[in-house]
Structure 1
Amino acid sequence: MAPRKLAAGNWKMNGTFAALDQIDRLAADLPTSGCDVLICPPATLVHAMSARAAGKLAVGGQDCHAKTSGAHTGDIAAEQLKDAGATHVILGHSERRTDHAETDAQVAAKSLAAYETGLVAVICVGETEAQRDAGETLDVISAQLAGSIPEGATAANTVIAYEPVWAIGTGRTPTNEQIAEVHALMRERLSARFPDGADMSLLYGGSVKPSNAAEIFATPHVNGALVGGASLKAADFGPIITALSAA
Structure 2
Amino acid sequence: MSNTIETSLEITTPIDAVLFDYGLVLSGPPNAKAWARMRTITGLDEESLHREYWAHRHEYDRGTHIAYAYWELVAAGNGLTFTPEQIADLVATDTDLWTDLNYPMVEWARALQQAGIRTGILSNLGDAMAAGLLKKFDWLSGFYHCTWSHALQIAKPERAIYQHATEGLATAPDRILFVDDRADNIAAAQEFGMKTIQYRDHAQFADEMYARGFGPLLHPRPHDPAHDALDKTKAL
Which of 1 and 2 has higher RCO (CA within 8 Å, sep 6+)? 2
Q: Which has the higher strand share?
A: 1
TM-score (norm 2): 0.35
TM-score (norm 1): 0.34
Q: Which has the higher helix share?
A: 2
